[in-house]
Structure 1
Amino acid sequence: MRRSMGCVLLAGLLLAAAGCEADHTAAPGSSASVKAPPLTKAWERTDLKPAGQFTAVGGVAVGYVADSGRLQIVALDPATGKTLWGRAASPGEVTLGTPVGVHVVDGKVAYFRADPKGNLFAQLVVADPRTGDDLAVTAPTLFDSPPLACSNGTDVCTTSRASYKDKATPHRLRMSDKQYVAEDTGAPAGSRSVGVKGLTDLGTRDPERVALIRDGKLVWQRNIGDAFPAGFTSDLGWSWSLYPQPKLYVGSVYGGQTSSGADGFTRDLAAGSATAALSEADGSVVWRDAGSALGCDGTVEVPLDPANPDSASIPVRCRYKGTSTWSAATKSLSRSGLDVVVEGFDPATGKTTWSVPVGAADELATVTEGHALAGPGRLLVSGGTGPLVIDLTSGKTEKPAADATFWCGKRVEFEYGEAYYIDGKPEHQRIGGEVGTPCGVDGKPVDRVPASESTRAFGTVLGADVLVAKADGVIGYHQG
């Protein structure tokens, strides 16, 4: 299943986070619930501690594992679970709100390799997914954006700086000659990627601006205030997706946060989120929607085709009521008066296509808890008015059987040996994707095998094989 969602940073601390880039390369459609042949367990690896689900690329399963302060990228044979290759990896100097995840560029794997030159220095590597062999490698540098496909689909674009004294600037690993070159895009130093295919936060404030950078050129720029309410900023989080059929960037940034004294911050959930669409062509604001959060604050981003990591995600957003309070003293988040409505929307117009009230469904307001799938495009809501299964393409609902079993997700947090510094203070905690736990209709762990439909939707599908990453290992299933 796809695991690239939005980034949410609140109060300068990581309260909720997920992948900041989501490449929606097909138009939304429908997801029919079709019974597929049952799966049988083929193998299990208990020696691996996954940092999220694996990604299917080149006929193998590629993913990250983390243990004892180290991070590694590995490839597994989906039929046997055998490790085909593994390399030391690094999260780089990418902001803590961005999870470590596998990036595929032109059928190859792009990742950061840890380097001993200095704290968080790394090499950008493009590797053959089947062998792990290096196809292109940069010199050690400080990367502050993930390695993403450039607009030509073959080069790798990121932002980096040569030393701690510098500000990050756009760079490109040119695959034609394997050269890592700076790009004079016209964007100021300190800009950062906030979406796929060149969507960039220019790093300026008063006003804050977002821009599109393509082929090394700044195509357009837009004040955030033109699309979102006053005070909204990507400093509190963002989630942007590109829907190519209407040729729109659809996204959310956040606001509504007030200080509750030296001990923390409070956020008005109803007033603290909004969604808007910008034209891919010129950045003009096509529509606005106050009070909604794309992908439900990073808890719901579900692809139409779980076997295809580049499949379009189903357009879903949530509306929240209530307040959330972050306590700096206890480093905990509490909520009061939570009420959630899940809805589908038309990316071209922003109009709501269906709506389902689910009450105080805490799992839709807590990204660290992940979510559970009953099948392709079928979300289990266990809290609030649940248990309830929602078809995310139609909004149709049904009550699951009392003894039904699913894969429930939980966001991975892991320690990395090299520190990321925030105001001079070291932070070693990093985040990855979701790992799964067998759960019942109430979302609590059970000692039963999840249904095959849930396994396919939650895991990584490679032909007749399906891999599910758990907190304590990886299970391989086979059809037939």
Structure 2
Amino acid sequence: MRLLALSAAVVAAFGVGGCGGDLKSGAVVGDPEPVRVWTIAATPVTQPYAVAGMVVTYTTRAERLYLVGIEPSTGAVRWEKEASLGWLNLGAAARPALVGDRVAYLRPTQSTDKLAELVLADPRTGADVAKTSPAVFTGVLSPCANNTDVCVTSAPKTGTKAVPKRLVAATGAFERDGTDADSMRVLADKGLVELGVRPAEVLALRRDGRIVWKRPLAEALPGGFTTDGGYRWQHIADQRLFVGSVWKKPGYTAGYYSRDLATGSSTVALSEETGEVKWRDDGSWYGCAGIDMPPGAGVRCRYRGTVRFADDETVFDALNVTIEGFDLATGRTTWTRDLGPVEGLAGDQGPGAYPPVAGDGQIVVPVDNALAALDLRTGNTRPVGEDEPMWCWESIRYDFRETYRTPDAKTAKRRPGGAALTVCNRVGAPTEGRPLWAVTRWVGVQAIVGRHVVVATRDGFAGYTVDAAPAAQPSASRSGG
């Protein structure tokens, strides 16, 4: 699944010579074509996620948000619950929070000031396992270190300070999660946070309600960089590292954000044990604009040019993109390709902007004046057929009834979602046929249950398999469409 950026600035815009030989063939030898066994008409907000034998996802209708549970083999919608965004950062896309074999979400109340209940639910039935009283929730829901409780920043009401809290699954208690931090922003799984201090930001590793280490952001990144400008971090378990990128905060004039792409980002690796900076690479963006990176593979982009952006509009000037593979442990470049003005890798989220996905860890990009499938593990390329079916990502935006104020004091209700999938050819145009099983499993990796893969499309949801006949179509009456 594409990982979209986590701030309003980044959601609006993204935040050596070529090496490597050619791949020998376009398709995986013997890879079957999957069968689409069901579809549901709906308006997805994000891709689905597998948990406890079900898939859960957000849908929208009539400017409201719903969390739904879908049976992956038949497409039957087993339950639906109205959901809230609370005070979620306006640039962050809502996605189901998986906590062990349960799912956490915010449930709206009748309050006019965005008070919500935090609910931990059974994904098989939607039934409450534990819930809180109405409160203000200001951060992304995430599993606590025990992968049983739910961690979040919360305040009892508007105008009061938000602090780290924990919903205890076993008892339903909603309690302070340690006293060593008054506020924080979760940057990555496994405890990497930013402590909410301004202007001198502080990174920290926080586990079981206590801070293990702190690292001033200024010691890790160049001056002027801030997580308020956009970030992407990832825990690299086998290397005991956190690898991520941070942007400078963009300028803002007359309704548009703007930034210089060559100097606006930096990538860094921090030791999980101590917070020590293991390496830093200025001028690069980890994962480019939301690339799904193969396990163990480091991928980053370098940019030249400028960009200005606002909501659904992104304009580049003199853009050039270079994509690189690198060693996660050392930061050393292992391969590189100069791609030219590929706007989808620099943050344009309009239709057809993001490169088509042609295989397991492969995207279609221009190489030596021809379109080719680039393997993100090795930098190798292969030709792609004119009508070869593949998957294309398309960003989701939707209207939500809880409005907010923009930086120029306008009232708005447009929100970023995740990304929907369509079957396309190498230039991103819709096409007949089905991508091979390996490609479908790659784009739907977070929603695989046995031999079934579920994906969100522009028009709803679809279930694929390689060993079943098409099923009778389920009712879409509760799908959120």
Verify: 1:415 aligned to 2:399, yes or no. Answer: yes
CA distance in 1, matches of 2:216, 2:13: 25
Question: Is 2:460 aligned against 1:467?
Answer: no
Deviation at 1:468, TM superposition (A): 2.1
* Residue equivalent to 1:323: 306
Shifted more, 197-206 versus 208-217: the winner is: 197-206
Does the Cα contact within 8 Å between 1:52 and 1:432 map onto a contact in 2?
A: yes
Pairing of 1:288-327 with structure 2 (within 5 A): 288-297=280-289, 299-302=290-293, 304=294, 312=295, 314-326=297-309
1:363 equivalent among 341, 344, 347: 344
Instruction: After TM superposition, give the deviation of residue 17 of structure 1 in Å.
Output: 8.0
TM-score normalised over the length of structure 2: 0.87
Count of residue correspondences: 450
- 2: CA distance between counterparts of 1:217 and 1:82? 43
1:247 aligns with 240
| Residue pair 1:231, 1:255 contacting (<8 A) in 2 also | yes
Counterpart residue identity of residue 292, structure 1? S
Structure 2 vs 1, CA of residues 126 and 162 (structure 1 numbering), >3 Å: closer, same or farther?
Answer: same
Whether contact under 8 Å (1:360, 1:385) holds in the other structure is no
Cross-structure match for 2:191: 198
Quick one: higher RCO (CA 8 Å, sep 6+), 1 or 2?
Answer: 2
Tell me which residue corresponds to 1:225: 218
Q: Taking structure 1 as reference, are residues 58 and 35 closer, same or farther at Cα in structure 2, changes over 3 Å only?
A: farther
Does the aligned pair in 1 maintain the 2:231–2:245 contact within 8 Å? yes
- Provide the residue aligned with 1:152 in structure 2: 146
- Give the aligned residue type for 1:200: V
- Please tell me whether the aligned partners of residues 356 and 425 of structure 2 are also in contact (alpha carbons under 8 angstroms): no
Q: CA deviation at 1:429?
A: 1.6
- Cα distance, 1:85–1:342 mapped onto 2, change above 3 Å: same
Show structure 1 runs of 5+ residues with no match.
Answer: 19-31, 305-311
Matched, 1:344 2:340: no
Q: Could you say if the C-alpha distance between residues 42 and 263 of structure 1 is closer, same or farther in structure 2, counting changes exceeding 3 Å? A: closer
Q: Distance in 1 between matches of 2:369 and 2:205?
A: 41
Tell me the distance in 2 between the aligned counterparts of 1:231 and 1:96.
22
Cα 1:458–1:65, aligned 2, differ >3 Å: closer, same or farther?
A: same
What corresponds to 1:28 in structure 2?
A: none
Secondary structure class of the residue paired with 1:81: coil
Q: Is the CA contact 1:35–1:453 (under 8 Å) kept in the aligned structure 2?
A: no
Aligned pair partner of 2:263 in 271, 278, 283? 271
SS in 2 for 1:283: coil
Give 1:133 shift.
Answer: 1.3
In the alignment, which residue of structure 2 is the partner of 1:98?
92
Shift of 1:188: 3.2
Question: How far did 1:167 drift?
Answer: 2.4
User: Structure 1 pair 331/464, CA: closer, same or farther in 2 (3 Å)?
Assistant: closer
Amino acid at match of 1:222: R
**Cα distance per residue 1:162-196 (max 9 Å; x no partner):** 1111121100111232211112332234x322222
Tell me by how many angstroms 1:391 deviates.
1.1
What residue number does 1:9 align with?
A: 8
Deviations 1:83-117 (A, max 9, x none): 11111111221101111112211121111112222
1:39 to 34, 42, 49: 34
1:247, distance to aligned residue in structure 2 (A): 1.1
Shift of 1:256: 7.3
Distance 1:198 1:88, change over 3 A: same
CA distance in 1, matches of 2:28, 2:277: 36
Match of 2:22 in 1: none
Match of 1:390 in 2: 374
Once residues 352 and 115 of structure 1 are traced to their aligned partners in structure 2, the CA distance between those partners, rounded to angstroms, is 51
Quote how far apart the aligned CAs of 1:380 are: 2.2
Contact 2:297 2:328 in 1 (8 A): no
Displacement of 1:154 in angstroms is 1.6
Q: RMSD in angstroms over aligned alpha carbons?
A: 2.4
SS of the residue corresponding to residue 296 of structure 1 reads: coil
What is the match of residue 133 of structure 1?
127
Shift of 1:315: 2.3
Which residue in the other structure is 1:22 paired with? Answer: none
Aligned-pair CA distance for 1:448: 4.2
1:120 aligns with 114
Which whole-Å deviations, capped at 9, do the CAs of 1:14-50 have from their partners, x for residues lacking one? 51489xxxxxxxxxxxxx956433211211112x111
Q: Secondary structure at the residue paired with 2:435?
A: coil
Where structure 2 has 5 or more consecutive residues not aligned to the other structure, the ranges are: 16-26, 468-481
Q: Which amino acid aligns with 1:68?
A: A
| Distance (whole Å) between structure 1 residues aligned to residue 234 and residue 66 of structure 2 | 28
**Contact 1:301–1:313 (8 Å) recurs in 2:** no
Tell me which amino acid in the other structure corresponds to 1:344. G
Q: Deviations over 1:200-248 (max 9, x none)?
A: 2222223221222211112222111111111111111111111111211
SS of 1:194's equivalent in the other structure is: strand
The superposition leaves residues 378-420 of structure 1 with CA deviations (integer Å, 9 ceiling, x where unpaired) of 1223699552211111111112111112110011111111123
Alignment TM-score, normalising by the size of structure 1: 0.88
How far apart in 2 are the matches of 1:186 and 1:280?
A: 19
Shift of 1:3: 4.3
2:440 corresponds to which of 455, 471, 477: 455
| CA distance, structure 2, for counterparts of residue 372 and residue 171 of structure 1 | 41
2:385 alignment partner, one of 401, 420, 426:
401
